[in-house]
């Protein structure tokens, strides 16, 4: 039984970056930044909780920043796991 030429092969889908060591350095940098972001997210969680506790409403600035942080973390995860070769902010603009 032969494999159809229409089915993409694994090596056709992904081509490794030309300089894997540079990518590894960026992966290390983003791993450190993710740890910092996790601490920041924990602080924002506490701030938002107490804000909502006392004002009975959410802090829009904290909510918006949390949403942006979540999108950034998703982009970092895509880069770290090889889904994307696009580096997130600050090497790429915020969207």
Query: If the chain, 95 residues long, is cut into consecutive pieces of 10 residues, what is the mean pLDDT of each piece?
Result: 55 64 93 98 98 97 96 95 89 69
> How far is CA 71 from each of CA 12, 41, 62, rounded to the nearest angstrom?
29, 13, 14
Which residue range(s) make up the domain with 89? 39-95
Q: Encoding tokens for residue 84?
A: 């994307």
Domain assignment present for 34: no
Please tell me the total count of domains within the chain: 1
Whether 24 is in a domain gets the answer no
pLDDT of residue 19: 84
User: What is the number of alpha carbons within 13 Å of residue 46 lying toward its C-beta?
Assistant: 5
The verdict on pTM exceeding 0.85 is: no
In a domain, 71, yes or no: yes
pLDDT of residue 91: 78
8 domain-assigned: no
What pLDDT, on a 0 to 100 scale, did the predictor assign at position 20?
87
Residue 40's CB is within 10 A of a number of other CB atoms, namely: 13
| 31 belongs to a structural domain | no
């Amino acid at each position: 039984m032969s494999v159809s030429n229409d089915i993409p092969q694994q090596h056709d889908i992904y081509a490794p970056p030309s300089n894997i060591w540079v990518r590894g350095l960026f992966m290390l940098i983003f791993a450190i930044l993710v740890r910092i972001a996790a601490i920041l997210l924990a602080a924002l969680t506490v701030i938002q909780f107490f804000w909502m506790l006392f004002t009975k409403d959410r802090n829009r600035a904290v909510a918006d920043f949390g949403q942006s942080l979540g999108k950034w973390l998703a982009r970092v995860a895509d880069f770290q796991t090889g889904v994307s070769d696009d580096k997130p902010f600050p090497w790429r603009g915020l969207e």
